Amino acid sequence: MNQLKGRSLRSSAGRSLVLLSGVLHHWSSLPLGQGLVLHFYALHLANGLAVLSEIWQALSSYLFVLTSSFALNRRFLGNLAYKSTYLLELTGESDSTVFWEL
């Protein structure tokens, strides 16, 4: 699913870059000073969009890894709690006495 997000994000960034290139082509017919200024801003906008796309992709990958490790830790802690409860039943100790001994 994370790969699908990345693909759709990349394709949307690609579509915006294609749109910007069309705008740049239109601006090339403008007078030199006006066209250069608009071209300069459009290039910075395109670079900004590409950087934001990369940042979003890195953040989504990081969040995916973080949530996966949280799920694994939660499963591990659940197994640990089950095993400790099982040991308490075997020894005949209650939860409160073990808690106070800790």
- Rounded to 5°, the CA angle 91-94-98 comes to 85
Break the chain into its structural domains and give their ranges.
2-101
44-72 per-position pLDDT tens digit: 788 888 888 888 888 888 887 777 776 66
In the numeric block, which tokens belong to residue 42? 């459009």
Q: What is the model's pTM?
A: 0.35
In the numeric block, which tokens belong to residue 37? 């200024």
Q: Which residues contact 6 (CB under 8 A, 6 or more apart)?
A: 57, 60, 61
